[in-house]
Every structure is written in structure tokens, then in C-alpha cells.
Amino acid sequence: MGTLAFDIAHLLAGGLLLVSFMMIYQDRMFALLHVFAFHAVVLSLSVAWQAYNQGAPHLYVTAAIALVFKAAIIPIALRRIVKQLGVHREVETVVGVGVTMLAGIGLSALSIVLMLRVTAHADAFAREDLAFALSVVLLGLLMMVTRRNAVSQVVGFMSLENGLILAAAGAKGMPLVVEISVAFSVLIAFIVIGVFLFRIRERFDSVDVTAIDDYREVHR
Amino acid sequence: MSAVEFELLVAAVLLVLGPVAVFLRRMSWVSSFIYASSGGLCALIASVGAARLVARTGDSGLTLPLGLPWIGSHFQFDALTAFFLVILGIGGAVVSLYGIGYGRHEHDPMRVLAFYPSFLGAMTLVLLAADAFTFLLSWEVMSLLSWALVLTHHQETNTRTAGYVYLVMAGFGTMALLLAFGLLAGSDGHYAFDTMRGAVRSPTLAAVILGLMLLGAGSKAGLVPLHVWLPLAHPAAPSHVSALMSAVMTKVAIYGFIRVVFDLLGPSAWWASPVVILMGALTAVFGILLAMMERDLKRALAYSTIENIGVIFAALGLAMAFRANGLTAAAALAFTAALFHVFNHMVFKSLLFMGAGSVLTATGTRDLDQLGGLIHRMPITSFLVLVGAVAISALPPLNGFASEWLMFQAVLMSPAIPQDALQLMIPAAGGLLALAAALAAAAFVRIYGIGFLGRARSPAAQTAVDVDRFSLMAMGTMAVLCVLAGILPGMVIDAISPVAKAVLGGQLPLQTHEAWFMIVPIAEGRSSYSGMLVLLFIAVSASGAAWAVHRFASHRLRRAPAWDCGFPDPTPATQYSAGGFAQPLRRVLGTNILGAREVVVMPEPGDPSPARLTVTVDDPIWHNIYSPMGAVVIYVATKMNGLQFLTIRRYLSLVFLLLIALLVGLMLWA
């Protein structure tokens, strides 16, 4: 990998991490969704760049999936859900944003120190890439843990998954990347549905959709 | 068809026979059919195994494309497997014969029939398995099927408790085995026994594997302190299943121990053997002391099983000690003694459990204090049980003496061992074993004296009648085996010698050419024993005495009431009770070891109520290890109960924190 190619890949991976931090900082729901879409765009750029560099055309598929589903369909769908269900437009956090940001910085430091130490013999780019990817994963988890709102938990989970795809795309010759990304997308769909069902059940003591309709009838 | 294919086929048929019984449940002949075919198949298993040992037919192996992908299931048939197949085959065949008669009295026969043949088949598979996965799978199937059999009379609370304790202990044992095989396989995952055998291991790793095997196989066999389930579960099952569990399944556990420790691990460090010897010797003493105190006939027999397992493990430990020092001949002697005792215990313990089953059928009780006088009502059963009791008490000329004698010969070889610690310890362990042998004799005098002699203590015992001819035939077969193995021990030793040769690389000298059916384990000048001569002597002297008594005394016989100490009260309660007979030993040994207590409650002056003597005997292991452990588990579980009602976010936080902790640990460690 040439110096320029390396630098660009590095930039994109670092950019993904930066966008993760932006997501942690957001406290408005629609802004969060916008940042998440941006996150997915950066990811798809990064994966496409890897595809170009490694000469691995199947990675373009992964990039396309990221772009179409995560940058477009899912944010739009989530936006509709938020609007229709009348969810609060503000993200309820457990601890303050500042503390979360500090914790995120700590996690990034942890993952970089750990990865550089564990993968001492690996190729230089793979090390950096894995360190970034692990940071993104941990930030995603952090977001899931520190937000009370279901939508932002789902967003956290999806950004976590972006980190996984970044790691898979960066490791040269890793088999089944496309399949894994597809499988994860399906999994996310289930998580989204699952979390909402769970929330609905918590609120209405039932997953029966008519319960929601009844609720709307009463409160009209 | 090679031997392993044949045995596998038989095992498969046995496994299928259980479900077949369910399909045939409406037929009136299903019980007899299942037991008869199980018995026949077991006889086939035994005969092929015996052919390997006596006619020295070859070993064979087989790999089937079942089980784990890319690995398959490996099976083998070698001398060690063949020996234990003989144990399983004989035990299974005779007990099934007994089952034809005994099974008729079963209240709900399908609860036994559906599992009984499959249980035999699973045990066969354990013996044939030649890779860790197949072994553990068959082991677990064996455990579960025996658990189902234990729960046959599930309406009784005690049985359910026994089943629960058994299930927990079986799970624990399998976990220990799983870890042991994991360590044996190493990080490369060589699951086949053949590749495990060649691997080089550090002594520490070998000792850890040995410890895990003691836990895993020991818990199934009943080593103290892992024995607590055995006196609960074995008696809870129907008697023929008790016989199988005590006589055969514990031997399968011993097979597992020998296979791993002697065959796969190879010679261990000398300091590993004292643990096994001491555990064995203590198990022997502890088990037989508890048997001495027990009122329940079948539980007493189960405790006696613990004693015999201890004896076998002590002999195996001796073999390990000799082998670690390259004393192959002495190791072969101890190993042969252990396997001989395995055979003997299978014979007489199944005989005794079948006898207990017959008593239970005839009287409906297992309480020794409700029995008595059975020798008049059930003469054949009583005689056969007497043979078994004499054999298990290690009295010549029966088989128990031959194997214990061999073992003490091995103990006497200990001065050849260079390590001082072992030289000091082995005679001490020998002393414990001798104590156990003496206590065993006392325990069986008690069981036989209280249960079968004297006068009947209950109407049930008074009206008992001898059992059906299948049961008597089965018990008779085992009694004949007791006598044959006692007077022809050379034949058994010669049959074991290919096993010792294959496992240890050494064997005892050929015995069958010795004059007078003598056995000479080391050299003529050192020690020799002939059961046949003892039998002849006993026969001649007893006939002489009988003749003399008859000649000089028989015509002076007169029938009169028994002398009643001057009290004209003929109640049978004035006889020795089971507790009374055990009292001297309970006071000498039981007070400290078993925490036996006697509480006398005297009524106030003027109060006409009777005085009461209450005796409590506890298993200290249960109180000191298992009860606190159970309390800790309950405490922790109660404390953690709150974890079941958290929100998603809190669960995620837990996972997240654990992940961070792991990553930090990895960072610090790497």
C-alpha cells in the first residue's frame, strides 16, 4: 500500500471515529440521525477505498449496502418512526455529555494502546485500522449504555456494527466480509423491531398492535 | 466382522431395544422379552470379550462418520476394553435373567423397560469409545439413563431427592471429565485416544489431569468425599437396577479412570500415587463404617460398594506407585489385584443386591429390624446370600479372599520402592485396608445375622416365601461364580494378564500350570495360596465334625422352648437389633468419625411411658462439605436474583463493563 493510499485510508478511518464522537455529543434526535447517516457515508467511503486498494470488488457491495441502507433507508425510517410515535425530540442521557465524552476518550485510548500492543507483528495499516475499529465499537456500546431512549440505543448499535465492518474491510483477505455485513444488517433489522416491541410491551403490557391503536383512540 | 464391529452392533441393538419396549408396551410378554433379549445380548458381549482375553484374538478399531464433523467417532476393542466388556456382559446377563422374574412385581414396568436395555447399551459404548467426544457422550447418556432408572419409584420423596442429588453429582463428574479430556487433548484438539497417548506432558499437567479424573470417575464410582449420591441413588432404584449400578456402572467409572490414567497419561510422577492410595484406603474404611451403622438393607449394600471401590482404587494407586519407579512386576501384581477385585465385586455385589431384591419382594421391607428368620422361610435365597456375604467378607476359599490376598501381596512389595514417603505410607494404607476388610466381615455378619437368622421380627418376615426360579437361577449363577473364582483364581489371573501386559507392559507369571490350583504371584518361596486346598480342608474337617456331632449327639436331640433369660416373654424384639449389634463399633469408631450420638430419655418417676434411646449417625461429609456448599449456592443465587429484573440498558452496562474489564486485563497482561 502506497503512502498516499495509506494516508487516505487512515484519514477515513479516523474520520469515522471522529463522527462517532459527534454522535455522542448530539442531544437532539434528528441531529443524531443526521450524524448517523454521515457516519454510514464515511464508512462506505472507507470500505470503497479499501475495495479499490485491495482490488477486491466484493467490498464495493459492502460499501453499497452501507450507503443505501444505513445512510438512507434506516435514518429515514427512524425519522418517520420518531415523528409518528411522537417520541421526545430530545435524547435523554443518563450522565452528562461531558462525562460521556471523557469516557469515550478513555475508551479510544484504551483500544489504541491495547491494539498496538497485541498486534505487534501485524501490518502497520491493519493495526491502525483495528485500533480505530475497536474504538468505534466501544463508542457505540457507550452510546447504548448512556442513552435511555430506544432510538438512540438502536443508533448506537448500528454505529457499533459500522465499526465491525470497518475492521472486517481493513483486514486484507478476510473471507465472507460481504456476507457478514448482510447478516449484520438483517440482525439490525431484528434489533430495531425487537427493541420497539420491547418498549411497546413495557408501555402497554402487550405487544399486540391493537393495544397501541386503542391507546391512540383514547388519547385522540 | 471384527470384534469391535460386533460389539458395536450389539450395543446399538441394546440402545434401540428401549424404544422398542415402548412400542410393545401393550403385549403381555414385553417384560420377559426385553429382559431375555438384554440378557442374551449381554452374554454375547461377554463371550466376545472373553475370547479376546482367553483365546487372545486380536485388537480392532473402527472410525464411523458420526459425531463431530471432520473427527468422526472412534471405537476400539483392546484387552482393557475386553476385560470390562466381560464384567458388563456377565453382570448384565445375570441381572437380566433375574429381571425376568423380578420385573413381574414391578408396579409400572414401562418405567424400567424403556431405559434398562439402553442403559446397558450406553455402558457398552463407554467401554468401546476411543475418542473424547464419543466417550463423554456415551458417559452422559449412561448417567441420564441410570438417573431415569433411579426415578422409577418417583412417587416417594426420598427417591426424588436421590434423583436430584444424583443428577447434580453426575453433572459435576462429567464437567470434571470434560476438563480432563480438554487438558489431554491440548490446544491442538487431538480428540482421538491414539493421538492423546503419544503426547508429552509436564508432570504438573499430568497431576492436574489425574486430579480431574479422580473427581470425574471418582464421583461416578463413589470415592469419598464424592460418594454422597451413591447410598441415596443406588438403593432407590428397583433392585436389579441397583445391582447393575453398583456392580457394573461403578466398574465403568473405574474403566474410565484406568483408561485415562494408566493408558493415555502413561507413567505418572511418584508423588501422585499416595493421593490415590490414601483416598482409596480412607474410602474403604469410611464406606464400611457407614454400612455397619445402616439399618436399611439396600443402603448398607450401597455403602459396602463404596468400601470395595476404595479397595480397588487403593490397589490402582499401588500399581501407580510401583509403575512410577519402574517396578513392572509389582505394578502388574497390584493392577491384577485391582482388576480381580473388580470382577469379584461385580459378582458378589450383584448377588447381594439380587438377594436384597428377593427379600424386598418376599417381605415388602428393607428395614433390617423388620426382618429376621428368613433362613427358615426362604432357604435357597438365604443360602445364596450367605455365599455372597462370605465372599464379600473376604473369607477363603471364596473369591473375595483371593483378590484381597493378592492386594496385600502387593502391599508387602512396598519395601522395594525407593521413596521413603511411600515406604512409610503404603503399610499404613495397608493397615487401613485390613481394618476395612475386618469391618466388612463384621458388617456382613450383622446383615446376615439380623436379617436372615434368629426369629422373624415382623409378620411380613414370618410369612415370606422363596422367590421365583429365574431369580434363584440368577443368584445361583453368581454364587457358583463366587466359588469358582475362589478355588480357581489362577484362571482369572491368567485372563487378566493380557490386560496388564497391554496397559503396563508386564504381567504376572502364568498360573494355570501350578499344581493344586495354586497361585504364586511372585515366587514359590515367597507366597502362594490355593483356594482348592482350603476348600478341601474345610470340606474334610467340616464333614468330620458333622459326622462326629451326628454320631455322638444327634440321638440326644430334644425340642424345647428357647431359653428366655428367665423372662417368659417370647417377643422377637428381645433379639439383637441392627442398632444394638452395631453399638460397640459405633461407640469405638463412630463417635469421632461419624459423629454418632446416643440420647437416652428417661421418664420422670411415676410416669409409665417407656424410656427412649435415640441414636443418630450422620455422614460428616454431608454436613461439613455439601450442606455449607449448598447454603453458599442458595445465598449467592438469592443475592443475584435481582439481576433478573433489570432494564435493557442496565444489562448492556453489565456487558459493557465486563468487556472493558477484559480489555484492560488483556492490555496489562499482553
Does B542 reach chain A within 8 Å, measured CB to CB? no
- Where along chain B do its domains lie? 277-521, 632-669
Q: What crossing angle do the helices spanning B132-150 and B250-257 adopt, rounded to 10°?
A: 160
CB A104 within 8 A of CB A25: no
| pLDDT for the residue B620 | 85
Query: Please, how many CA atoms are within 13 Å of residue B295, restricted to the half-sphere of its CB?
Result: 14
Which pairs with CB-CB distance under 8 Å and at least 24 residues apart come from B275-278?
A: B275/B210, B275/B211, B275/B214, B275/B317, B276/B210, B276/B214, B276/B313, B276/B314, B276/B316, B276/B317, B276/B320, B277/B314, B277/B317, B277/B318, B277/B321, B277/B425, B277/B426, B277/B429, B278/B317, B278/B425, B278/B429
The Cα A97–Cα B377 span in angstroms is 90
A110 with B649: Cβ contact below 8 A: no
Closest chain B CA to residue A93 = B649
CA distance B171 to B163: 12
| Count of CB pairs separated by less than 8 Å, A with B | 38
Q: How far is CA B14 from CA B19, B35, B41, B64, B574, in A?
A: 10, 11, 7, 18, 50
In this prediction, residue B103 carries a pLDDT of 84
Q: Which residues of A touch B658 (CB under 8 A)?
A: none
Q: At a CB cut-off of 8 Å and minimum separation 6, what does B556 contact?
A: none
Alpha carbon distance B404, B409 (integer Å):
9
Per CB-CB distance under 8 Å, the chain A contacts of B651 are none
Across the interface, whether the CB atoms of B663 and A142 are under 8 A apart is answered no
Whether B663 and A144 lie within 8 Å, measured CB to CB: no
In terms of CA atoms, which chain B residue is nearest residue A113?
Answer: B667
Residue type (1 letter), B450: I
* Cα B175 from Cα B165, distance rounded (Å): 15
Residue B25 is predicted with a pLDDT of 87
CB contact under 8 A, B649 and A94: yes
Residues of A in contact with B666 (CB under 8 A): 114, 118
Q: How far apart are CA B545 and CA B538, in angstroms?
A: 10
Give the model confidence (pLDDT) of B374-422 as tens digits. 999 999 999 999 999 999 999 988 999 999 999 999 999 988 899 988 9
d(CA B489, CA B495): 10
Instruction: Identify which of B42, B258, B18, B247 has the alpha carbon closest to the alpha carbon of residue B114.
Output: B18
Query: Which grid cell sits at B418?
Result: 525407593
Q: Is B668 on the interface with A (CB under 8 A)?
A: no
Strand partners, B612: B601
Q: CA-CA distance, B176 to B209, in Å (whole number)? A: 9
d(CA B506, CA B327): 9
| Interchain pair A141, B663: CB under 8 A | no
- Taking the C-alpha atoms of residue A27 and residue A16, their distance in angstroms, rounded to an integer, is 19
**What pLDDT, on a 0 to 100 scale, did the predictor assign at position A72?**
86
Rounded to the nearest angstrom, the gap between the alpha carbon of residue A66 and the centroid of all alpha carbons in its chain is: 10
pLDDT at A127: 81
Contact A141 B649 (CB under 8 A): no
Q: How far apart are CA B118 and CA B220, in angstroms?
A: 18
Residues of chain B with pLDDT below 50 are none
- In this predicted structure, the answer to whether residue A204 has a pLDDT above a threshold of 70 is no
Question: How high is the pLDDT of residue B120?
Answer: 96
Nearest to B282 by CA among B294, B271, B272, B290: B290
Q: Looking at residue A58, what is its pLDDT?
A: 81
| Beta carbons of B87 and B251 less than 8 angstroms apart | yes
Give strand pairing partners of B63: B74
Summarised one tens digit per residue, pLDDT across range B567-581 is: 666 678 778 888 889
Tell me how far apart the alpha carbons of residues B400 and B481 are, in angstroms, rounded to a whole number.
Answer: 11
Q: What is the mean pLDDT of chain A?
A: 80
Contacts of B663 in chain A (CB under 8 A): 110-111, 114
User: Looking at residue A67, what is its pLDDT?
Assistant: 87
Among candidates B656, B663, B666 on the partner chain, residue whose Cβ is nearest the Cβ of A145: B656
B663 at interface of A, judged by CB pairs closer than 8 A: yes
* Residue partners of B663: CB distance under 8 A and separation at least 6: A110, A111, A114
Q: Which one of B649, B655, B667 has the shortest CB-CB distance to A114?
A: B667
Confidence class of residue A211 from pLDDT cuts 50, 70 and 90? low
CA of A148, closest CA in chain B: separation in Å? Answer: 7
Question: Count of CB atoms within 10 A of residue B481's CB?
Answer: 22
pLDDT of amino acid B452 = 93
Using a CB–CB cutoff of 8 Å, tell me whether A117 touches chain B: yes
Search chain B and give the residue with CA nearest A118.
Answer: B670
Q: A114 and B666 in contact by Cβ < 8 A?
A: yes
SS3 call for B61: strand
Q: Name the residue in chain A with its Cα closest to that of B659.
A: A138
> A110 vs B664: CB contact, 8 Å cut-off?
yes
Longest dimension (CA), chain B: 97
Contact (Cβ atoms closer than 8 angstroms) between residue B450 and residue B382? no
Q: Is the pLDDT of residue A155 over 90?
A: no
Within B364-488, where are the H helices? 374-377, 379-392, 399-412, 420-452, 459-462, 469-487
* Cβ–Cβ < 8 Å for B349, B301: yes
Could you tell me the CA-to-CA distances from B404 to B93, B222, B250, B409, B516 in Å, in that order?
Answer: 26, 19, 19, 9, 20
Q: How crowded is residue B568: how many other Cβ atoms within 10 Å of its Cβ?
A: 7
In one letter, which amino acid is B139? W
What's chain B's average pLDDT? 90
- What's residue A176's pLDDT? 64
Is B648 in Cβ contact with A195 (below 8 Å)? yes
Residue A196 with chain B: CB contacts under 8 Å: none
CA nearest to B661 within chain A: A110
Please list every residue in chain B whose beta carbon sits closer than 8 Å to the beta carbon of residue A141: 652, 655-656, 659
Report CA-CA distances (Å) from A109 to A102, A131, B298, B666. Answer: 11, 9, 67, 14
Q: What are phi and psi of B453, to 5 degrees?
A: -100, -175
Cα distance between residue B325 and residue B269, in whole Å: 9
Give the single-character DSSP code of B261.
I
Longest dimension (CA), chain A: 65
Helix, strand and coil in chain A, % to nearest 5: 85, 0, 15
Instruction: Kindly give the pairing relationship between strand B612-616 and strand B60-64.
Output: unpaired
pLDDT at B291: 93
d(CA B419, CA B414): 10
Contacts of B661 (CB under 8 A, 6+ apart): none
Q: What is residue B7's predicted lDDT score, i.e. its pLDDT? A: 93
The nearest CA of chain A is from the CA of B646 a distance in Å of 12
Quick: pLDDT tens for A99-151: 999 999 999 999 988 888 887 777 777 788 888 999 999 999 998 888 877 77
What does the pLDDT look like over A49-99, one tens digit per residue? 888 888 888 888 888 888 888 888 888 887 877 777 666 677 777 788 889
Share of chain A above pLDDT 90, in %: 20
As a whole number of angstroms, the distance between CA B619 and CA A44 comes to 69
Instruction: Compare CB distances from A141 to B656, B667, B670 and report the shortest one's residue.
Output: B656
